[in-house]
Structure 1
């Protein structure tokens, strides 16, 4: 396969290069490559990037295949330009034993892209019984998380951090004080008051984060703060990094691009956990990206059936289907407005997740596996949820006009989307 005439991302800039792929490897990278009898993809006027990495997705299989399957979720990811994703373990059953984890790995073979699997921190993602971290790592767990559930007991979290640090793995935390959460459904503030809905306070996130940062400092574990949403969280993580704590964090596209002011009615397409916060919080998250306090963008792709998302804030499920729209939204709303550079966005969506989670490099270099995407930055479109590959059509961005269209995704040397 020969990709010609594209502007190819190289560490922190773009160069006009051709790319020759044989098998699953990049074998030549040069300003001009001419070969015969090869499949040629003309990338004239387009950019070629290392495949995007999303360390936070929910593919729902097994147990909730009415929402998503590994096949549909991975196909949706490929459409979004992703070549590697990290699948959270809140499926049914939770892969918390060797047998269940191995069954999950077999199911994951249905993925059209590389699927890295999280193992849970505790049995069934609840309680205080820790999983066998070393065994799970040997079976293929790239990191550990109870996403969807917080680790409530501080002693349990301390022990988990110590054990995960011993095996040099990663702990991705769902940051939520369950006692403060108190059945909230929307940010505690003017919108919760306007709609008469139970609110989720900032302290629900920040109190748990404060505890975890103290424990992370004591244990030295790599602590990854999932989907941060508040200005205070950004400040705390900045301070922790300055203090030498081994902490990283992610932010979602929806928390960067929306705030509670965008919720005009009781529309649960805007219901996510953590909730959309204030305009000030949103600005702080963007500043955190610009400054480098926030390390990566992860979608927290959480597909649901339409029935589960059309019952108002009180009765609908949390979550947004976002993996197909992430790049185009971020490019349109952040890059085209000169909030961040295109190169910075690519690093946040590809380079940084790989470095932080010790994943195989998707850099477009000779000898590396061919994991990349091709994007037409000039192509404009309108987001249409009904045309999602994902089973989850739940998005607040339906009807939004965007620029930047993934035209092809190549994973392990194979075209998995477009062409």
Structure 2
């Protein structure tokens, strides 16, 4: 048994924000209340700390199978636990692609050996080639969390329409990477002032905007539950806002790097700030924050994309895009959203646990009696320095940053899976 004493319970499911005790027996919460006691329980003194449902990241890359020199399911799960996450959804662009039940089962079985809940999304198209749809029925039956060709846009509208209709019929989420290659001269850097300064082609926001507009209308037409992944453009935020008003079941993700950094980061951090879609202008960053404020953007995800130091040491045009993000996500949410007053802590917790879980058809975690004991305990204003990573990778522009939100414990299924 575990007894968490005097923690500030912040629960976006029940909207409770109150200092209470939490008693855990086995894998579930036995009781939540005041002045609780249990003779044989291990006691965690959470005075001055926040006790919240475990964080949920529905967009991670664990590189397993196929590229385990970057990350594997065990190290990815360790990074997640260190970041306060008790549930993650892995993307399908592994080698081989998760476009069949056998590869799906491999990830599921290895995920069960970690201390957290590792779910796996399946691809939409076979081999991520955008030509032939996977057997969505079989993959859904085998436990896929959703469908996505993340990393590659689906250019074939006929295929995407069929996939959306199937996702609707299965009541399963379909998540889309929105970058039209026609408007990407060179990936990873915003096309604008900085790309011109670097004499680098860059990726126009139009690449995202035209795809988001198309897919929001297809979502409206089909009624499918659609997620616009890692939104980066002010225009795209407005398009999603409009589609929601029209009645489309559209959701959108924001990453900490997109609401924290601008294109100037490429000058300072080089390839560590190269990502797809790129971080853009201050106006884009602020419009993403506005989208989070009004619920247009309802999911905060990391797009955790580990790469080796050797890969990121290549020239800007050759290095891979993406950053390792699980261990800095909560701190950046507090730094960029809560501390400036853009979001309340309750709203941040909703975007990082309740909303992602609900979109991916999970029962959201809650600090309530009989709920699964998946919790994170952290100091909201307690600072820590980004230095050592549990991930195999350290490709982050945030190395050396001092962030709020020091995580003391991550508890999953009643077990302490991370302790500072």
Alignment TM class, shorter chain as reference: over 0.9
Contact 2:256 2:301 in 1 (8 A): yes
Contact 2:172 2:361 in 1 (8 A): no
Distance 1:319 1:165 in 2: 30
Q: Does 1:415 align with 2:416?
A: yes
Structure 1 residue aligned with 2:238: 235
- TM-score where L is the length of structure 1: 0.97
Structure 1 residue aligned with 2:138: 135
Unaligned runs of 5+ in 1: none
Distance 2:27 2:372 in 1: 6
User: In angstroms, what is the RMSD of aligned CA positions?
Assistant: 1.3
Q: Does 1:32 align with 2:35?
A: yes
Structure 1 residue aligned with 2:4: 3
Distance 2:315 2:385 in 1: 25
Contact 2:353 2:364 in 1 (8 A): no
Distance 2:99 2:187 in 1: 28
Distance 1:266 1:347 in 2: 31
Structure 2 residue aligned with 1:20: 23
- TM-score where L is the length of structure 2: 0.97
Distance 1:74 1:107 in 2: 11
Aligned counterparts, 1:149-188, within 5 A: 149-188=152-191
Offset at residue 334 of structure 1 (A): 2.2
Distance 2:351 2:233 in 1: 19
Distance 1:131 1:313 in 2: 34
Offset at residue 101 of structure 1 (A): 2.0
Structure 2 residue aligned with 1:360: 363
| CA displacement 1:307-327 (0-9 Å, x = unmatched) | 111223111110010110111
Aligned counterparts, 1:272-351, within 5 A: 272-351=275-354
Q: Does 1:147 align with 2:150?
A: yes
Given candidates 265, 269, 273, the residue that maps to 1:270 is 273
* Cα 1:354–1:184 shift into 2, 3 Å: closer
The DSSP-based 3-state class of the residue aligned with 1:332 is helix
Distance 2:296 2:103 in 1: 36
Offset at residue 265 of structure 1 (A): 4.8
Q: Does 1:250 align with 2:253?
A: yes
Structure 2 residue aligned with 1:390: 391
Contact 2:56 2:87 in 1 (8 A): yes
Distance 2:197 2:185 in 1: 19
The DSSP-based 3-state class of the residue aligned with 2:381 is strand
Given candidates 98, 112, 126, the residue that maps to 2:115 is 112
The DSSP-based 3-state class of the residue aligned with 1:6 is strand
Aligned counterparts, 1:60-99, within 5 A: 60-99=63-102
Offset at residue 121 of structure 1 (A): 0.2
Offset at residue 266 of structure 1 (A): 7.1
